[in-house]
Amino acid sequence: MDHRPQAWGRPRDDVYGAYDASYLHTNGPKTATQSPIVTGTSVIALKFKDGVVMAADNLASYGSLARFTDVKRLRPFLSTSVVGFGGDVSDMQFLDRHLTELAIDEAYEHDNTSSSSETPATAGQLNAANLHKYLSKLMYRRRNSFDPLWNQILVAGFDSSSTPFLASVDLRGTTFTSPSLASGFGAMLAQPIMRRHAATEEDAAKLTRDEAVAIVRECMKVLFYRDARSLDKYSIAVVTRDGVELSEEEQLEKQSWAFAERIRGYGTQTV
Amino acid sequence: MAAMFSQNPLMNGPNYSVNDAPRATAPEGARQHRFDPYTDNGGSTLAIAGAEFTVMAGDTRLTSGYSINSRHHPKLFKIGGTTADQKDATIVLSVVGFAADGEALKERLDTICKMYRYRHGKPMSVKACAQRLSTILYQKRFFPYYAYAILGGLDEEGKGAVYSYDPVGSYEREQCRAGGAAASLIMPFLDNQVNFKNQYVPNSGEGHALQERERRPLSRSEVEVLVKDAFDGAVERHIEVGDGLQIMVITKEGVEEVLLPLKKD
Amino acid sequence: MTSIGTGYDLANSIFSPDGRNFQVEYAVKAVENGGTSIGIRCKDGVVLAVEKVVTSKLLKAGANKRIATIDRHLGIVYSGMIPDGRHFIDRARDEARAWRDTFKTPIPTADLASRMGGYMQAYTLYQSVRPFGITAIIGGFDSTSEAPVDGEVGAGPSCGAGGKVPGKTYGGPFLYMVEPSGLYWGYYGAATGKGRQAAKAELEKLDLGGPAGPSLTLEQAVKEAARIIYVSHDDSKDKEFELEMTWISGADGPTKGLHREVPKELREEAERLAKKALEDDEDDEDEEEEKMEE
């Protein structure tokens, strides 16, 4: 007789045969994301003199269906950085929860900054450059295990020397930085516009906040005109050394669809 | 049969443990994937060994498909220094291909070089580093780093050393090597200009009697001009090459770095 | 303590014939030797404060924090054996994390108190363990708006099923104290450690538990907390001490719903007022004594 605790209350093997625990095993292959399901489209961001502007619309699409129209795809981190997500929304939610845990871990050690003059950078808190490194290692590890998080992520904030920081990481762990960045359709439609104003770091360092915000808003309008999976409601975040200002209820204004009439295949054609 | 239900842990393992219960045949291993873990981020690299220097170069464009992701993404990395800015490093690694793998490869090699320094109290020789890099690449033989690496430095005699690799770790020491998207454009040019291939002494004879031009080590200034010309040519003919040219020259004084502009179209 | 020395105080799992667990009572003694900790639940937040006795001049001033952040909106302060407290904090953080993992929402203060009470109590049951030598004060501010689920992306329906109910209130400031026995109650004001008697007497004078709710504001509470720590401090036992204070307000308050250390400027102002109040008291007492002598 087996007297060990794990046998208590179980039918006896010698009478009933070994316990069939097969139902506890998941049969079939291990599953991993093979393609994104509910997706967000472009995220765009532009550096300026003393910070970074980032924007993304509030739409989550299910294929060609505009499924959720109030989805917030820009997430502030520790009120020093902003993370913008394109791609799969459920993976974004997973990452968002993960970042929440990370922020709480930070609070254990650092949130108790006693003097109000101390900035997060000097208090040794995770800055945007650290966060981007962390996320890129996470994304690369997941691609190595063939279980990618199907996102392209932009991280905006400041680096350890307190200069504006903007970088990207995608589902394969590829990372890069640039004065302006755009994911998805934004890479084709918004990036040329932003590069016209800020081709180099030096150009970007001359832009004022208002100029940068205006350029990004203009880009969001172009994206709405041309990207079929986009929305005229969007979020815009401005990261400066003072913190993060995030507005999630922006509406595209002064739309003019007059140009569409001249383009064959764009809307109703009369000829 | 009796042994099957003996409940003797020695005979059939711990009873009732969920892990040891008989499995209804669960086919594992047959995994299908649509996810492609690789991309090609374009770009090109080049290395030339001189008599007492090595010149490494790479463009700074990072592409995916027809998009330019970044105009300033370095492909050259100093390896094995003692500080974060690598100012005392003596070895340079260049990587092209899939940027994320290149980055991971660079970080692996750098940490290994640092560990070597801590354990042995001296920097790694280029020769040792080159062998180690091959091992790192081969360790991932069945899920390779998709990166074409070139390692440059000075050998034990102070001569320029260039080691080139394929993605799974096959390597050799060479006089010069071009890697990446425009390798096929640059390499023939280097064969002709560095190793004087297809260059003959005028009027030295006909057919087999034709004498090859005598090889001589190139001077540093000659090499630097060659590098710029090679990339200007590549930029003209390859869409994934351009924006900036990062050059590192390794001499016994250390590593000098310059950044030159390339066409941005 | 008639049963002392009769063997009933040697193990946790044995009651004395008169129904007492002596190990727990000894643990309380350990708490009574620790620096005073207090918590005040006021109108718009919670303040935690501790008298950090300076045991050596070689300790860096302001380092070695005694009040810990558990989750964004939660803080714990404790009196007694500091290593026990550290372990308690670790466990509380694990509980808060586990709650987030399962429910995708921050742990309410009441639930944390319940779980930590249960954890403390488990250490009074077994032969192989001893009770915690601490009494912990848990302060928290549960979100007053309907808290979104962690990672939630949309606002949800604005009306109907799952919609927002107008006028419904949620959360607010909460304060709990957990004792070595595992006993925990919710409090308006809580005090523990060596100066608890004096501190409780002072806390009772504050307007915290009236039928209309506390009228004390967060800033006032910070100043009262500082004063109470100074009042309950016994100069004859320990000379040097540091005052450590944290606070938690709602999302619209000064800490934006987070457990943060009280800013240096405000803490110093509170300490200045506390010292002044103390001196005034002493003057009054001196005058009274003089009168008596007359």
DSSP line for C29-57: HHHHTSPPEEEEEETTEEEEEEEEE---T
Whether chain A has a CB inside 8 Å of the CB on C62: the answer is yes
**Chain A nearest-CA residue for C76:** A108
CB contact under 8 A, C259 and A101: no
Whether chain C has a CB inside 8 Å of the CB on A116: the answer is yes
Q: Which of A7, A24, A34 is the closest to B15 by Cβ? A: A7
More confident residue, A181 or B209: A181
Whether chain B has a CB inside 8 Å of the CB on A140: the answer is yes
pLDDT over 70 for what percent of chain C?
A: 94
**Chain A nearest-CA residue for C72:** A104
Cα(C87)–Cα(C73) distance, rounded to whole angstroms? 20
Q: Which domain holds residue A177?
A: 38-251
* The predicted structure's pLDDT at residue A267: 64
The SS3 of residue C18 is coil
Is-catalytic flag, A33? yes
- The residue with tokens 């970074």 is A52
To the nearest whole angstrom, how far is the Cα of A197 from the nearest Cα of chain C? 32
* Best of B16, B20, B98 to mutate (most A CBs within 10 Å, chain A): B16
Q: Are 3 or more Cβ–Cβ pairs between C and B shorter than 8 Å?
A: no
CATH number of the domain bearing residue A56: 3.60.20.10
* The predicted structure's pLDDT at residue A113: 46
Q: Which of A72, A104, A114 is the closest to C62 by Cβ? A: A114
Select from B93, B95, B92, B96 the least CA-distant residue to B43: B96
Cα(B60)–Cα(B242) distance, rounded to whole angstroms? 7
Average pLDDT over residues B180-191: 96
CB atoms within 10 A of CB C120: 26
Look up the ipTM and state it.
Answer: 0.84
Whether chain C has a CB inside 8 Å of the CB on A92: the answer is yes
SS3 string, A170-188, reads CCCCCEEECCEEECCCHHH
More confident residue, C3 or C87: C87
> Which residues 71-100 of C are in CB contact (within 8 Å) with A?
71-72, 93, 96-97, 100
Whether chain C has a CB inside 8 Å of the CB on A241: the answer is no
Q: What angle do CA B160, B162, B163 make, to 5 degrees?
A: 150
To the nearest whole angstrom, how far is the Cα of C123 from the nearest Cα of chain A? 23
Cβ pairs A/C, distance under 8 A: 65
Please name every residue paired with A244 in a beta bridge, in sequence order, or none if there are none. A239
For the cut 50, the answer to whether the pLDDT of residue B69 exceeds it is yes
For the cut 70, the answer to whether the pLDDT of residue B31 exceeds it is no
CB contact under 8 A, A96 and C261: no
Structure tokens of B165?
């690799």
Query: Residues in chain A with pLDDT < 70?
Result: 1-3, 6, 26-31, 111-124, 267-271
* Best of A174, A177, A183, A188 to mutate (most B CBs within 10 Å, chain B): A174
In a domain, A22, yes or no: no
Q: Which one of the listed residues A31, A33, A163, A270 is annotated catalytic? A: A33
Select from B214, B263, B246 the least CA-distant residue to B77: B246
Structure tokens of B15?
């009873």
Cβ(C1)–Cβ(C13) under 8 Å?
no
In a domain, A29, yes or no: no
**Chain C touching partners, 3 or more CB pairs below 8 A:** A
- The residue with tokens 């063939």 is A146
CB contact under 8 A, A93 and C68: no
CB contact under 8 A, B35 and A176: no
For the cut 90, the answer to whether the pLDDT of residue C98 exceeds it is yes
Structure tokens of B168?
């799974």
Cα(B221)–Cα(C245) distance, rounded to whole angstroms? 67
**Chain A nearest-CA residue for C261:** A112
* The predicted structure's pLDDT at residue A34: 76
Average pLDDT over residues C287-292: 65
Structure tokens of C83?
């290593």
CB contact under 8 A, C153 and A73: yes
Q: What angle do CA C151, C154, C156 make, to 5 degrees?
A: 115
What b/e string do you get for A97-134 counting C-beta neighbours within 10 Å, with b at 16 or more?
Answer: bbbbebbbebbeebbbbbeeeebbbebebbbbbbbbeb
Average pLDDT over residues C51-71: 93
Average pLDDT, chain C: 90
Average pLDDT, chain A: 89
* The predicted structure's pLDDT at residue C147: 67
Q: Are 3 or more Cβ–Cβ pairs between C and A shorter than 8 Å?
A: yes
Contact residues on chain A for B27, CB-CB shorter than 8 A: 27-29
> Which residues 7-66 of A are in CB contact (within 8 Å) with C?
60
Cα(B262)–Cα(C8) distance, rounded to whole angstroms? 87
* Best of B8, B18, B25, B35 to mutate (most A CBs within 10 Å, chain A): B35
* The predicted structure's pLDDT at residue A117: 42
CB contact under 8 A, C259 and A72: no
**Total structural domains within chain A:** 1
In a domain, A266, yes or no: no
CB contact under 8 A, A27 and B26: yes
Cα(B92)–Cα(B58) distance, rounded to whole angstroms? 12
Residue C103 confidence class, pLDDT cut points 50, 70, 90: very high
Q: What angle do CA A236, A238, A241 make, to 5 degrees?
A: 165
* The predicted structure's pLDDT at residue C187: 96
Residue C210 confidence class, pLDDT cut points 50, 70, 90: confident
Q: How large is the angle between the packed helices C218-232 and C264-293, nearest 10 degrees?
A: 50
In a domain, A59, yes or no: yes
Cα(C45)–Cα(C223) distance, rounded to whole angstroms? 14
Whether chain C has a CB inside 8 Å of the CB on A154: the answer is no
To the nearest whole angstrom, how far is the Cα of A142 from the nearest Cα of chain C? 20
Whether chain A has a CB inside 8 Å of the CB on C259: the answer is yes
Mind listing the pLDDT tens digit for each residue in C161-195? 767 777 777 889 999 999 999 999 999 999 999 99
To the nearest whole angstrom, how far is the Cα of A17 from the nearest Cα of chain B? 7
Cα(B235)–Cα(A266) distance, rounded to whole angstroms? 37
CB contact under 8 A, B31 and A2: no
CB contact under 8 A, A2 and B15: yes
Q: Give me the phi and psi of B147, to 5 degrees please.
A: -150, 135
Cβ pairs A/B, distance under 8 A: 111
For the cut 90, the answer to whether the pLDDT of residue C158 exceeds it is no
Mind listing the pLDDT tens digit for each residue in B96-141? 999 999 999 999 999 999 999 999 999 999 999 999 999 999 999 9
Residue B24 confidence class, pLDDT cut points 50, 70, 90: very low
More confident residue, C127 or C212: C127
CB contact under 8 A, A144 and B41: no
In a domain, A7, yes or no: no
In a domain, A58, yes or no: yes
* The predicted structure's pLDDT at residue B16: 45
CB contact under 8 A, C261 and A113: yes
* The predicted structure's pLDDT at residue B162: 98
CB contact under 8 A, A34 and B24: no
More confident residue, A82 or C211: A82
In a domain, A90, yes or no: yes
